[in-house]
Every structure is written in C-alpha cells, then in structure tokens.
Structure 1
Amino acid sequence: MVFKKNKKDNTSEPQTLAASNNDAMGELAIDVFQTPTEIVIQSPIAGVDEDDIDVSIENDMITISGHREKQETVEEKDYFYQECYWGGFSRTVALPTQEVDIEKSKADMDNGVLTIRIPRVEKRKSKKLKITSKDKESQEE
C-alpha cells in the first residue's frame, strides 16, 4: 500500500499495490544454483511454519507451496503501508538438469530461509562395447 495524493483536497489516501483477492496465490522469490555435487534452491519464507510448506519434485519440476497467515485483523483504512503478502503462495520451476537423485533430496528451514538440496547423479562415463557375432556364437555350440 502506498499513499496517493488526492489533488482535490491535498490529502493522502493509502493505495494497495497488490491484489487483495483472497484466491490469488503469491509467487515466491527463489535462488537456484549448483555446486559440484548438488542443485540448491533457496527461498526466504519468513513467518511460515515448516509444517505449512509443501515441497514436491516430479520429473524435472519442483513446486514449493504453502500458506502465510496474518497475525491480526486490521481494517484497510488503518494501514499506512501494506506490502506484505498474506495467504497462499506457490512457485514451480524446472530443474536445470535431470541428472539428480530426488530420493536423496533434503529440505530445511533456518532463520526463515528454506533451503532445498538435490544431489546430482554422477554423469555416466563412456564405455566401449565389444561387438559379438551371433554367427560365431552358433558355430561354437
């Protein structure tokens, strides 16, 4: 919420910047980066209990969703600024690689920051295949 000057009587009225639709979902800000051994996703999710956050990985997509509850009821007219998002939130992103082990993934919360660690799977090294002849096998029998 910001203040907008009323040109008629030179007063200020609070204006909401965000949608006030209770059905709208907020979108999380995230960082996704790699280390030599894992993909790491971090998101500041202050004010949300870890039991109210759902993290799911399916194929090459990860979804983080949850709900942030407002602590007290305040009438719209009593706000000076209203910038915090209250309600449901969700974020789905494609993982940068499919070479991950989702079974060994871990998520933890520290000081309001959610960190998800997804181990990388070692890339397959090349292997030279020996070609055998079925004709030779049948002759040897």
Structure 2
Amino acid sequence: MNRTMVPKGHGPLASRDLRTDPFFALQRGINRMFDDLWGGFDMPTVFAGHRFPSLEVHDEDKAVRVTAELPGMTDKDVELTLKDGILTLKGEKKSETSEKTEHGMVSERWYGHFERSVAVGEIDDNAVAATFDNGILTVTLPKTERPKDTGHTIPITGK
C-alpha cells in the first residue's frame, strides 16, 4: 500500500480551484446583491466563476507541458511567471467599439482579466519556452536532471 502525507489534489501538478477562491466568492456575492437591489444590474467580469483559461497539463518524461486556449487574445495580452515551481498565467483583454447609427452613437466596452497558477515541480528555469499560435499558448518546462532516489533505510540510534 502506497501512503503519502500529501492530500489528494495537492500533488506537484495541482492547480488552484478558482470556484473556492474567496475573492471570486466575494465578487459573486456582490453581483448577487446588485441583482437583487436593481433587478438585473450586473457587474460581471468575463471570467468570474469559471476556470479560465482551461489548462491541459502533461507531465512527460523530460518536461512538463502546459497548454491554454486563449481565444481572441494575442501574446501581448498574456504574462507568464515561474517562481518556486509555480507557473502563473495572467491575462487582460480590453476592447472598445463605436458605431454611428441613424439614431446616434453606439459604443461597447469589454474587459476581461484572468489569473491561473499551476504547480509544475522542479524545473530548469533557464530552458523554459513558450509559444503562442492562433489563440493557443503552449509552455514547455524542462525538468531538472536529478538522480532518482531509490530509497534507503535510515538507522535510528537510541540513548
């Protein structure tokens, strides 16, 4: 039987569950309050309550590969950071359109922000590569070369 002190879902590739994030819970509560108060007045963020972007994390032999779908975004809209074995994706998209009609001017503004973090373990920081193609972000994080520990017995000395 293989036992571990690491709780389920908290292994090296566990990601943060935004549905239980206290800040998103607060925002949902405030949105609900405004809905009740003004009957439909809504202040959502585009990604609130959703795990956006959805991530695919593949733990391969020599690397961890993280893929995110970011439709409508460009590489300039996304920021990647790696610190202490945690890869963080942040993104922001702003859009504004104006159209003149026979009845006046129609303007629309759109704003969206997201942040996702995923634990990737021991990574060779200097060899990380990221590509962005047609709304698909792919991050390749080579693992550090460490000899595998086969385990050994540690003797205990009594007094």
TM superposition score normalised by structure 2: 0.52
RMSD: 3.0
Specify the code of the residue in structure 1 equivalent to 2:44. S
Match of residue 117 from structure 1: 140
Distance 1:19 1:32 in 2: 32
- Superposed displacement of residue 118, structure 1: 0.4
Residues 4-83 of structure 1 aligned to structure 2 (within 5 Å): 20-21=44-45, 27-70=52-95, 72=97
Specify the code of the residue in structure 2 equivalent to 1:70. S
Determine what percentage of the aligned residue pairs are the same residue.
21
Distance 1:68 1:53 in 2: 9
Distance 2:57 2:98 in 1: 35
Distance 1:119 1:21 in 2: 34
Match of residue 108 from structure 1: 131
Structure index of larger Rg: 1
Do the aligned partners of 1:105 and 1:116 also contact (CA within 8 Å) in 2? yes
Aligned residue pairs total 98
Choose between structure 1 and 2 for higher RCO, CA contacts under 8 A separated by at least 6 residues: 1
Q: 1:36 to 1:21 in 2, by over 3 A?
A: closer
- Superposed displacement of residue 35, structure 1: 1.9
Do the aligned partners of 2:45 and 2:112 also contact (CA within 8 Å) in 1? no
Specify the code of the residue in structure 2 equivalent to 1:114. L
Give structure 1 stretches of 5+ with no counterpart: 1-14, 75-84, 127-141
Question: 3-state SS of the aligned residue for 1:90?
Answer: strand
Q: 1:67 to 1:25 in 2, by over 3 A?
A: farther
- Superposed displacement of residue 21, structure 1: 4.5
Distance 2:111 2:92 in 1: 8
- Superposed displacement of residue 40, structure 1: 0.2
Distance 1:63 1:112 in 2: 17
Question: 3-state SS of the aligned residue for 2:53?
Answer: coil
TM superposition score normalised by structure 1: 0.58
Do the aligned partners of 1:33 and 1:39 also contact (CA within 8 Å) in 2? yes
Runs of 4+ in 1 over 4 A off after TM superposition: none
